[in-house]
A and B are shown apart, each in its own frame.
Chain A
Amino acid sequence: MGYLNNSIITVDAILTKKGRELLARGDGSFKITQFALSDDEIDYTLYNPVHPSGSALYGEALENMPLLEAFPDETQIMKYKLTTLPRGTSKLPVLDIGFASITLKQGASLAITPQTLNYQGATSTFEAGGYTAVIADSRVLNSYTGVGINTEEAEKLNSTTTLGTNVSKTVIGTSVNLTATTVNTLFGDRTRLQTTITVVGRDSGARITVPVTITKTN
């Protein structure tokens, strides 16, 4: 992965894997209708509000940093979206799924109902557009569905099945139901399987990733 020449501002644009897939499908789903902005790679702890030269240079360390080229994997880019909020906002939307980590025994089920804190003036709210939840390794779950959002896209994602491979699976809903695998062979000599689940508010862009552990019972 190379760095982009930052002596002048240029734009390096590529299709994502998903974009190529939809373009090849040729069913009209490759139609750009909206955009989002993100500040991936920016570490705001480098922002210096006590810069001795003044406020114009608070972001000095960030404005001149080199940036990496775009990744084609749509799950690895656009992680931290910029949002539009009223001026004077002191708290930004964050997600709360009720768990700092998730541990399930084999065959056990769990329902996750995310909430968005500090969004649109409410202390806590459920986003109307629902939430996108990505399990990084779909093999560790017997079932994984989103409920509460009945759009065509959400239903299509819920009905997609991928067997036997270590790939992610994405669902959409206001709640997400997951059931741990009962397959012993996945464990090998280990007593637990580990992966992550990433939940993103579809309206706010707020995001949270928590570890998921499946423990062997047999």
Chain B
Amino acid sequence: MSYKRFDAEDIVISAESVTAPVWTGDIVTLDTFYTSSTQIGGVSGDYYYNIYQTGSDLANARVQYAIGYADKKGSGSLLFNDAIPGKSPSSVLYGQYRNLVLGDEEANFTFGTQTSEYFYVISVDRARYREKLLPGSLDLVLNVSGSQASIRLTDNSNLVTTTTFSDSGRVFELISGSTGTVSSGAKNSDGFTNGSGSYGKFLPDIGVILINGAALDGNIEDGGLEFGVNRTSNPAEASNTRRFYDILNREPKFRLQSEETISSNFIFVRARNAEFNYSTNPSLITGSGELRHNVMINSPQSFITTVGLYNDNNDLLAVAKLSRPLLKDFTKEALVRIKLDY
């Protein structure tokens, strides 16, 4: 007999959460941002800019995240057709995220307690965050040159006692602070602005961060940046995405971690003392099948190197190799724990 069936308790399924850096190279804090003139100059550049960790023409360049500007009225970006007001890349992005996050074309985005019709989007590349972003790991710096205003943003996941859900999963508010902690210099104890609500939303399950445009435009004394988002209808130049890139890149610091649930099968392979003490290995026997070493007739020994895991059809589904042979004889029992991730 070469195959032994598992008992019910021999196979245990376990799911564990694994946290990791988001950015390429297992970097937790990204401090260099690059764009691609080719991408920006193309059609997609009207909607979003891809941000790389290094020069986009280098072989190891990978998209880390994308930024874009969304406006309910289509302001701040060029109209698709001058004769049709309100239809522009910014209104497309607004509708896209409204559909994704709110799931209701009549609903408005509310940041904290304030409704806002325009916001910036940071969409982290899926290959970077794998499954979801880790709440409480965000530390993003926005720095506006003219006013010398700078602010660090994080999410309020550590502050709330109940988690809010939207059509896109969990939702947390962006606040003044870092890595889940409210800044000591915040205008309010909840980390929100005065009068403009929160600084945005953190949507970990879809890898998206929304930055409240009204909060950026707010006065510095109220916690804003006096950024001055361009909300002109059909402006001469669609500069909002580029200007947002500028305030990200002036003091580049973007800390973020991912969270992934890995399902593992723990399989316990148990060989009892009387089992698996002989081998079909040709070097163990002579041509007629007799044991090569007489001493093994009453004291057989085998050396386990490999465990094969099979289905009912004897298909070999997985194999586990031991790092060194495990001696097995009638006086020993073997227990091998195998972890299979998929």
Candidates B284, B288, B317, B323; contact of A9 at CB < 8 Å: B323
Task: Assess the B316–A77 pair: CB atoms within 8 A.
Answer: yes
Task: Indicate whether A203 sits within 8 Å of B1 (C-beta atoms), given known contacts A29-B313, A70-B321.
Answer: yes
A53 partner residues in chain B, CB cutoff 8 A: none
A80 to B324, alpha carbons, bound, how many Å? 16
Task: Assess the A35–B323 pair: CB atoms within 8 A.
Answer: no
The interface size of chain A toward B, counting residues with CB under 8 Å, comes to 77
Task: Assess the A34–B297 pair: CB atoms within 8 A.
Answer: no
Task: Assess the B278–A92 pair: CB atoms within 8 A.
Answer: yes
Q: Using C-beta atoms within 8 Å of the partner chain, give the interface range for chain B.
A: 35 or more
Task: Assess the A58–B295 pair: CB atoms within 8 A.
Answer: yes
Task: Assess the B277–A39 pair: CB atoms within 8 A.
Answer: no
Candidates A9, A11, A36, A42; contact of B283 at CB < 8 Å: A42
* Chain B: minimal CB distance from A11 (Å): 5
Task: Assess the A80–B310 pair: CB atoms within 8 A.
Answer: no
Task: Assess the B309–A94 pair: CB atoms within 8 A.
Answer: no
* Chain A: minimal CB distance from B153 (Å): 41
Query: Within 8 Å of chain B (Cβ to Cβ): is A43?
Result: yes
Task: Assess the B4–A44 pair: CB atoms within 8 A.
Answer: no
Closest to B285 in A: A92
Q: Give the contact stretch, choosing among B74-82, B238-246, B252-260, B263-271.
A: B263-271
Task: Assess the B304–A32 pair: CB atoms within 8 A.
Answer: no
Query: Within 8 Å of chain B (Cβ to Cβ): is A30?
Result: yes
A23 partner residues in chain B, CB cutoff 8 A: 317, 342
Candidates A32, A39, A87, A117; contact of B305 at CB < 8 Å: A39
A202 partner residues in chain B, CB cutoff 8 A: 314
Query: Within 8 Å of chain A (Cβ to Cβ): is B336?
Result: yes
* Chain A: minimal CB distance from B134 (Å): 27
A55 partner residues in chain B, CB cutoff 8 A: 295, 299
* B203-235 residues at the A interface, CB under 8 angstroms: none
Task: Assess the B289–A118 pair: CB atoms within 8 A.
Answer: yes
A173 partner residues in chain B, CB cutoff 8 A: none
Query: Within 8 Å of chain A (Cβ to Cβ): is B319?
Result: yes
A191 to B180, alpha carbons, bound, how many Å? 76
Task: Assess the A77–B290 pair: CB atoms within 8 A.
Answer: no
Task: Assess the A18–B269 pair: CB atoms within 8 A.
Answer: no
Query: Within 8 Å of chain A (Cβ to Cβ): is B303?
Result: yes
- By a beta-carbon cutoff of 8 Å, the part of chain B in contact with chain A is 1-6, 11, 265, 267, 269, 271, 274-285, 288-328, 330, 336-340, 342
Closest 7 CB pairs of A and B: A205-B2, A19-B317, A6-B324, A13-B320, A80-B281, A82-B276, A4-B323
27 A-B pairs in the complex with CB atoms less than 8 angstroms apart: A4-B322, A11-B338, A13-B340, A16-B318, A29-B313, A33-B310, A34-B6, A35-B4, A35-B6, A35-B308, A37-B271, A40-B305, A42-B325, A44-B284, A45-B292, A59-B303, A63-B327, A65-B324, A67-B305, A74-B319, A82-B2, A82-B328, A83-B2, A92-B278, A203-B2, A204-B2, A204-B280
